Each structure stands twice: as structure tokens, then as C-alpha cells.
Amino acid sequence: MQVALQRIKCNKNKNSGIVIAVDLLEIKDIPGCITLSSCDFTHSDVQQRIMQFLPHGQADVVMSDMAPLSTGNKKLDHSKIIDLNRAALEFARTVLSNGGCFLCKLWDGNETGEFIEEISESFSLCKQVKPKASRVDSSELYIFSKGFIKNENITKKRTRK
């Protein structure tokens, strides 16, 4: 969150944007950031709370670094992080303004390609990024997407599955 705050230059003297941090665990307030501590993002009431802070109910960027508690079973852990990211993607499809960006962290696995295809349905650019700080043997990667294109049919199609 600190990097997001730096990027939008959101501080007490200059309010050019907002950053909303949501964490399942108890976290300390982050200066310059709206902090929703001990909140489960996957619950609709938490998403409604987030939307109350968004100007006109819209955001330019949705970022997710959510991760489940690791079980040690790579296939199960991968499936769980994909589920969390699908929740973040559906939220992004609801609140992103046209042209917006979506960034999420995941652990590479058998569902990665399909998930990237899902994201690509709503964005003009979607690519995998492996941070330099990430260990070479780590399955952690990020999906960066920009150029959001609002399409109600995609959201309806996905929610019926």
C-alpha cells in the first residue's frame, strides 16, 4: 500500500487520489490510506463499504495481493489464490472506469492460463510480470492489465457459472 500511496502522491497536503487497504487480519492504520482492518474482501458487505469511499463509485486501479494461508499443497493453494483473484476481478469489473487497470498476485499453476484469458476479456492489455525481487524458484507472479473495457455481458456470463 505504501507504494500505491507514493505513486498517486496521496498525502495530507495533496489529495490527488485515494488508496483503500483491506485486510482479513488486524492491521494498523496506514497514514494517508483508508484502512479496513479485519475485513473479508470476498464478502459483499465489505465490497459495498469499499464502494462508499470511491468517487462516483468508480476506481482507476484495482490491486490485489490477497493470498490464502498456504497449506503446502501447491495445487490447492493455487486454486484458492485463483478464487480470491476472481473475486477481485469481478469487483474490478464492477468499479473500474473505462481504461482502468487491474493488478493481482498469484502463484503459477494449472489454472493460470484460463484466468489470464478471463482477465483478457475485459482489458486491451494483459501480461504476466515476475518482479525482480521475487526468488527465481518462486511460483509467485503478477498479472498486470490495463485498458479496461466495460462489458455487462461478461459480468453476467461469469456470475451465472
**Grid cell for residue 124:** 486491451
Domain boundary residue, one of 53, 73, 91: 53
For residue range 103-126, what is the model confidence (pLDDT) as tens digits? 999 999 999 999 999 999 999 999
Count Cα atoms within 13 angstroms, Cβ side, for 34: 12
Q: Which domain holds residue 39?
A: 1-53
Answer whether residue 86 shows pLDDT above 70: yes
Residues 91, 119 share a domain:
yes
- Total count of domains within the chain: 2
Looking only at the bridges linking them, the beta strands covering 59-64 and 34-36 are unpaired
Residues 130, 84 share a domain:
yes
Strand-pair partners of 105: 142
- Can 80 be counted among the known catalytic residues? no
What's the rounded Cα separation, in Å, for the pair 156 and 72?
A: 34
For residue range 120-131, what is the model confidence (pLDDT) as tens digits? 999 999 999 988
Helix 112-120 × helix 74-95 angle, to 10°: 10
Residues 63, 129 share a domain:
yes
The residue with cell 500511496 is: 5
Given 12, 105, 130, 161, which residue is catalytic?
A: 105
Mean confidence (pLDDT) of the chain: 88
Q: What is the pLDDT of residue 10?
A: 44
Least confident of 56-60, 63-67, 148-152: 148-152
